[in-house]
A and B are shown apart, each in its own frame.
Chain A
Amino acid sequence: MARTLSLIVLMLVLWLVMSGHGELWLLALGGASAVLVAWIARRLDSVDHEGHPLHLTWRGLGYWPWLAVEIVKANLDVARTILAGPDAVTPAVFTVKASQSDDLGRTIYANSITLTPGTVTMGVDDDGTLTIHALNAGAREGLETGDMDRRVRTLMGEA
């Protein structure tokens, strides 16, 4: 129930910042739409720990900025590689283990890998083995330290 309520509040806030209207009549319409969508989402069974991961909010404040810095570093590395020409490209396909305990954690890890330029998740196995394509050796080594895997586990509250 708390999840549904927070979804309604979140969507009302989203409606407010998208429309910019503060009049009571329009506000009531926005509120009604938020409630309607939350009701439909509930009927679709999508207001759970995956569809609306409210529990990640606070720990996410630590993870997302770290990921942003990693993305910037990876961007500079990929830019250097591209500018250096075709000889600098040493692609590799390898696997890493996603040690998160549930699908949400693994998805966040796999998507974080893909979002970071230089590494793309090509496949996910049921046992949490991710198949990765890396643009160069540096990107591969960075991933094999397992740092990101650990941080996603911390985000999920598992470590």
Chain B
Amino acid sequence: MSLILDTLSWALILGGSGFVLIGTLGLLRLPDVFTRLHGAGMTDTMGAGLLVLGMLLQSPDWLVAVKLVLIVVFLAFTSPMTSHALARAAILDGIKPWLRDSGKGGAQ
């Protein structure tokens, strides 16, 4: 039983790490601040979600489990606020979103 739990838990944690890694990759290779936000959005939804799910299976008692779930709940409420604030700040600062056909804007 504990072998199955451990395997499942590690699969989830590795999966979460994978999504954090891909999100970071997106942060590095996407063309401008707005597209990079989408990459960052992956790390605190699927990345954090799978990591916490994996840790839930390892939690020694329900008090720890509840705290782990609360982390995801608070992330779900705060991360869209910060993404939106960042996008809005960029727009107000006059940054034009990079679009494929215009060829303007971008990270530079």
Contact = CB atoms under 8 A, between A and B. Distances in A.
Interface residues of A, number: 32
B58 interface: no
B63 interface: yes
B55 interface: no
B87 A120 contact: yes
A96 to B, nearest CB: 15
Nearest to A13: B66
Interface in B58-106: 63, 66-67, 70, 76-77, 79-81, 83-84, 87-88, 91, 97-100
A17 B31 contact: no
Interface magnitude class on chain B: 35 or more
Interface in A110-147: 110-112, 114-123, 133, 135
Given A78-B38, A114-B83, A133-B97, A89 B45 contact: no
Given A82-B30, A85-B29, 8 more contacts: A75-B42, A78-B26, A82-B26, A114-B41, A115-B79, A119-B38, A133-B37, A133-B97
Interface of A: 17-18, 20, 71-72, 75, 78-79, 82-83, 85-86, 89-93, 110-112, 114-123, 133, 135
